[in-house]
């Protein structure tokens, strides 16, 4: 991706990022390739070796038993369980509403020619649940719940061996059929190829670190993946109505995810730009996660001033950020003019944090400008739309002659014969 701080029409920078969150990533491809090959050839034994090497884990049994799953749920703080179930309910309700928009199709395109499609749930999906710096209790909800709503036959969840017990509870409450304490690239390998204990899946979804991301990239093809995820991102487009304290708070809330988080403001108001920079610096003196958020702000923080609304919107679409907030006088009108983003947060009351945790939209979103061609994880990622067709005799009489002529002009005699045979038999009868 092009550095967002490069010259752009109508844009000047009050603060430009010092580093590119993509170019400074470690090259992990060789390490991941070795992990994949080992797990593919030696199965559980290789997984066990990598667990000891990377996670300092000596687990003999990877799968979490039903007794341990139920114990993890029982050990949840009652309020934590209630909040988890609140989030699950919202994510499920939104996924069900989305699923209801996906309908089968049957249409007679011309007389006697019937075309259509079916919505077919995937058979088995693997959900990678990251451990990360914090126990992200919402992570299993976002990948597992939509899969169950879609009708996936079996949902397999993998999470690092040292993940908090509450994460196991989250997987269980979200509906995972099987849960394995396997993390990193070895988890992706186990789900992609299958081992003695881990079943091979048809698609792998969920975010992870650089090793997980690279493993997903390398196994893609024989199995599907949702997307390749880079460092998290938040940008806000704002006019003079923007609230500097709120904007700074939102930037730091996302920056605490990781030291490579990209945080930015694009505004038409120079005074707001300066106020937000000052407010971020002030809040860094009091936020408990300043050690992480401060590095992200120092290295990747961006504040851009646009000469007018058109330049602001054009630059936002160029960035195509993972999370895009709209803080303008008429945020609904502004939102309608934007087209490239992972998820949109319209108006100052719509916080990224609400989506991250519990409001119902999915927080697994495209990064690295992938919002220019795809949206985030949703119930549709767990189904396939497969077409079908059937013919009546008068339909064959309509399509066979042009098919015969086209095949002949292309020099494909087998095609011509297949098209002609049905026509000949119909005419003979």
Hey, which residues are catalytic here?
322-323
**Residue 165 to residues 73, 78, 131, 329, Cα–Cα distance (Å):** 9, 14, 11, 44
Tokens of 181: 């304490």
CB 371 within 8 Å of CB 339: no
Distance separating alpha carbons of residues 334 and 328, to the nearest angstrom: 7
Type and span of the H or E element at 267:
strand 262-267
Tokens of 225: 């993946």
CB 156 within 8 Å of CB 199: yes
Number of Cβ atoms within 10 Å of the Cβ of 180: 26
CB 201 within 8 Å of CB 220: no
Pairing of strands 113-121, 105-110: antiparallel
Distance separating alpha carbons of residues 76 and 351, to the nearest angstrom: 26
The residue behind tokens 């609904």 is 332
Tokens of 363: 């927080």
CB 241 within 8 Å of CB 328: yes
Pairing of strands 383-391, 262-267: unpaired
CB 56 within 8 Å of CB 160: no
Exposure of 425 by Cβ count < 10 A (0-12 exposed, 13-18 middle, 19+ buried)? exposed
Exposure of 242 by Cβ count < 10 A (0-12 exposed, 13-18 middle, 19+ buried)? buried
Distance separating alpha carbons of residues 199 and 202, to the nearest angstrom: 10
**327: nearest Cα among 253, 244, 410, 389:** 244
């Amino acid at each position: 991706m092009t550095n967002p701080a490069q010259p752009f029409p109508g844009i000047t920078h009050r603060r430009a990022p010092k580093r590119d969150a993509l170019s400074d990533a470690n090259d992990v491809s060789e390490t991941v390739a070795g992990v994949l090959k080992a797990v593919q050839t030696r199965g559980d034994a290789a997984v066990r070796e990598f667990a000891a090497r990377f996670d300092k884990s000596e687990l003999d049994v990877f799968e979490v038993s039903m007794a341990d799953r139920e114990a993890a749920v029982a050990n949840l703080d009652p309020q934590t369980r209630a909040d988890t179930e609140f989030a699950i309910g919202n994510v499920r309700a939104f996924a069900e509403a989305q699923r209801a928009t996906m309908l089968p199709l049957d249409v007679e395109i011309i007389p006697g020619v019937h075309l259509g499609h079916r919505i077919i749930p995937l058979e088995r999906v693997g959900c990678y649940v990251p451990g990360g710096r914090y126990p992200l209790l919402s992570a299993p909800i976002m990948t597992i719940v939509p899969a169950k709503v879609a009708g996936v036959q079996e949902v397999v969840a993998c999470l690092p061996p040292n993940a908090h017990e509450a994460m196991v509870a989250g997987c269980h409450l979200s509906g995972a059929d099987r849960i394995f304490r396997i993390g990193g690239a070895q988890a992706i390998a186990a789900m992609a190829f299958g081992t003695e204990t881990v079943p091979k899946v048809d698609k792998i979804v969920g975010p992870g670190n650089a090793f997980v991301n690279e493993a997903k990239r390398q196994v893609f093809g024989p199995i599907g993946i949702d997307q390749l995820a880079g460092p998290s991102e938040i940008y806000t487009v704002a006019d003079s109505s923007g609230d500097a304290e709120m904007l700074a708070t939102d930037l730091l809330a996302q920056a605490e995810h990781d030291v490579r988080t990209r945080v930015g403001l694009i505004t038409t108001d120079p005074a707001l730009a300066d106020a937000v920079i000052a407010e971020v610096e002030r809040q860094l003196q009091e936020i408990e996660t300043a050690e992480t958020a401060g590095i992200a702000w120092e290295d990747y923080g961006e504040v851009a001033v646009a000469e007018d609304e058109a330049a602001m919107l054009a630059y936002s679409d160029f960035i195509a950020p993972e999370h895009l907030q709209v803080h303008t006088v008429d945020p609904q009108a502004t939102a309608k003019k934007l087209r490239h983003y992972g998820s949109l947060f319209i108006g100052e009351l719509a916080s990224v944090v609400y989506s991250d945790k519990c409001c119902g939209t999915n927080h697994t979103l495209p990064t690295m400008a992938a919002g220019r061609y795809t949206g985030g994880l949703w119930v549709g990622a767990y189904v396939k739309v497969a077409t079908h067709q059937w013919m009546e005799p008068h339909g064959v009489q309509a399509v066979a002659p042009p098919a015969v002529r086209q095949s002949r002009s292309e020099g494909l005699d087998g095609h011509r014969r297949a098209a002609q045979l049905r026509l000949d038999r119909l005419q003979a009868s």
